[in-house]
Structure formats: structure tokens, C-alpha cells
Amino acid sequence: MSSLSTVSLGKLETVSKNTPGPKIKSLKAYVVGSKELEEKSGGCGDYHAQQKGHWIVDSMISNPMSSYPEYKKSRTSWGIGAMGTVIAEVELDNGLKGVGLSIGGEPACFIIEKHLSIFVEGQDPNNIELIWDQMFKASMNYGRKGLTIQAISVVDLALWDVLGKLRNEPVYNLLGGKTKERIPVYATTSRPDYAKKLGFVGAKVPLPYGPADGDEGMRMNIEFIAKCRESVGNDFPLMVDCYMSLNVRYTIELACKLEKYGIKWLEECLIPDDYDGWTEIRAKAPSTILFTTGEHEYTRYGFKKLLDTKGVDLLQPDVTWCGGITECRKIYNLASSYNIPVIPHGSSVYSYHLQFANVNCPMAEFLIMSPNADEIVPLFGKTFKDEPLPKNGYIELSNKPGFGVELNYEELNLKRPYTHSIIEKTKF
């Protein structure tokens, strides 16, 4: 047995030495040319970066800052879009390029250019797992969640994109191939009636008020959901996004009062670190309503804590934030072992490829980014020339290599705020 192994390994080594493949020549990080351009381009990677008059900007949406009156009416008032878009570009020494997208702006650019590039440049682009592990472990002293993981995510996505182009395969084929030909899509929107007319299979609406609004706020929440239900009828799936703004007691009361309206799920009711709260909610709230979260969770370690609470019925990682494809596929596998489905938060084409390649993904999310929520436009605005859009409530993907989208360099007037010298690494 050992001799066969040795022979096999020897052959592999010979092939590797005789047919060296391309290496990663450079890693660069960009931001959109200006904040004004980012807003005019539809937000790009940061979909909150919208112009005044957009429903995301002007709607009353309960959020973690709702208890402060001066920041109550608009999420943009407290700087939710302060970081902005970050775009990573990986180029091989044969000229092929891959791009990734996330939020993090100039701070993420600094991390990518000044630190993460060490583990990327000069590498074999096939070694994505190795690169991810080195980026994560090297940044552990200042990272593990938030901005640092978003920076790792955008690099990881660029690597998968260029690897697909190198192999002339769509990313979903690199992940094991299709498990379905199309994915049903629900809409996140302020107008569920429009979403139904546009052909979506369900709609999710933002909760307007939170605990700081007292009994009157609770009453207005119920009235709002009642009107939403009336606008779409009894058979159209309706979900509610609570955006980290509630507490355990309020969530249980809200769930009990909403049960008669046939709400499919309540999403992200608690702040991300209140893991134990989900256990209590699931024990006391109606079993007919699902509880979902994960949009603001990071890496497999955070998601394992969520799953261990036994209080979450569905996971919603954002592929562009939680660690990229490399980490998110581990989250999918982890969820599968708990028999928990995964419906990623937004992230458009990046999440679609993972969903096509995984069985436990029943539906996709699509954020309605038109100002009045009345038409389908690209989630990432003008970032890509060819972002796939849902048709008649379903999303399909082409067999183009990589993620199958082309970056709109000219439109975005990309700026590279930091640069670095190519690092000569010791070969070993």
C-alpha cells in the first residue's frame, strides 16, 4: 500500500515540476472614484450608499441605533455606509484577472495591500484554501470578525474568479457542479405588492419600529404588517427583517402578535452576539414562525455558535462579508450536518454560485434597489456590465468562466488608495 502511495506521489511531483502553471503576479485593492459617484452608480458593493429619495434611505426602518432619536429616521444618518465599496483584483502572470467585491472602503484596501498581499502574490492560484488559512491566521491578532474578514472575503472572491477563468469553468463547477437548473428568488423591499407583480416567490419587508417606541410602536408594527399581508393576499410568503434592533422579550411578543398574519420568518431580531437569546426565543415563540439570522456573522466559528443555540431555523451568511466562497462553503456544510437550510444574504452572483452547487439552499434573496422599489435593477448598481437578474421569480446562471461577470472599470473611475511593492517570498 505504501509503495503504491509513494509511486502516485512521485508521479504527481514529476507532473508538477514539468508543467508549472501561472502564478499570481499582483493583488490590488480599489475604491470607487468618489462617494458621489458611488451613490450615482447605485451603491456598488455598499447598497446603502444611495441618493436621497431611495426607499432604503428614507424609510422608517428599525435598526440598532433606533433608540437614539437623532438617528432614528434614516440608517444613513449614523454612517452605515461610511466604509463604502472595496474591489480586489488578482492578476496572474499570464494576464488573466479576477475580481471580488465587498464593503470596507479604504481601510480594507490598506489591509489588503499592506498585509494580505504577502500571502497571495507569488502563489499558485489553485491553492485558495492555503491562502485563506494564511490570511486568517496572520490577521487573527486584529481580526476574526468585521472589517478584516470582509477584506479577506473580497480577496477570496477575486481568487475564485481568476481560478474559474484559468480553468475555463464557472465557479459552481469548481464547487462540485449544479444541483439545480434555477433558483427561486424572494425580494427584499418596501413594497411587497410590487414584488408579487414582478414575479418574485415571496417578499421581505423591514420592521419600522423597535422596543424604544413602546406599546405605540408595537401597535404600528402590527398595523404595518397587516397592510402588507392585505396587499399580497394570504398565500404569498411574507417575511420581516428586524435588523438587529430587538431584544428577546420584544421578539417573543412580536412573534405571538404576528402569528395570525402567516409570517414565514422573523430575521435578525437580536444583536449578533446574543447567542443565548435565540434559545429562549425558540422555546417561547410560536413554532409556526421561523427565526433566521447570520447576515452579520463571520466565519464557521460564529455560525457554529449560532447552530449550537438550537434557536435558529435558517442561516443567512453574506458571502461577500463572512469569509468569501472558501469559508462560506464550510458554513454550508456545517449547516447541512444540523439539517438547517442556508439562504444567503444578498451578495448576488457570488451567492448564486454557491447555491447552485449546494443542495440545502431552497431560495435566493434579491434586494430591490430601484428607488421606489418598483423595478428590478442590479444589486451592485453599475459595478458589473452583466450582473445576472431574476426573471419571473427565478435566477439562472450562464456557463461563463469564473463568476461570469465583467467589471465596469470605466464607469466607476476606480482609485487605488494604497500601493505596495511585490514581495519576494522565500521558496520552500
- Go through 44-71 and write b for each residue having 16 or more CB atoms within 10 A of its CB, e for each that does not: bbbbbbbeeebbbbbebbbbbbbeeeeb
Q: Would you say 364 and 351 are in contact if contact means Cβ atoms under 8 Å apart?
A: yes
Within 10 angstroms of residue 427's Cβ, the number of other Cβ atoms is 5
Domains and CATH numbers, the chain: 174-408 (3.20.20.120)
pLDDT (mean) for 172-196:
97
Task: Give residue for cell 499558485.
Answer: 124
The structure's pTM equals 0.93
pLDDT tens for 195-243 read 999 999 999 999 999 999 999 999 999 999 999 999 999 999 999 999 9
SS3 state at 312:
coil
Q: How many angstroms separate the CA atoms of 98 and 83, rounded?
A: 22
pLDDT (mean) for 174-181:
97
Composition of the chain by helix, strand, coil, percent to 5: 40, 15, 45
Catalytic one among 48, 345, 353, 420?
Answer: 345
Helices 324-337, 348-357: inter-axial angle, 10-degree rounding? 40
Q: How many angstroms separate the CA atoms of 302 and 305, rounded?
A: 5
pLDDT tens for 345-391 read 999 999 999 999 999 999 999 999 999 999 999 999 999 999 999 99
Share of the chain above pLDDT 70, in %: 94
pLDDT tens for 235-266 read 999 999 999 999 999 999 999 999 999 999 99
pLDDT tens for 22-62 read 999 999 999 999 988 998 888 899 888 888 889 988 888 89
Q: Is 115 a known active-site residue?
A: no
pLDDT at 428 (0 to 100)? 37
pLDDT at 3 (0 to 100)? 44
397 class by beta-carbon count within 10 Å (0-12 exposed, 13-18 middle, 19+ buried):
buried
pLDDT (mean) for 129-143:
98
At residue 422 the predicted structure's pLDDT band, cuts being 50, 70 and 90, is confident
Cα Rg for the chain, rounded, in angstroms? 22
Q: Would you say 419 and 113 are in contact if contact means Cβ atoms under 8 Å apart?
A: yes
How many Å separate Cα 396 from the centre of its chain?
18
Share of the chain above pLDDT 90, in %: 84
Task: State the amino acid at position 33 in one-letter form.
Answer: G
Q: Is pLDDT at 9 greater than 80 in this prediction?
A: no
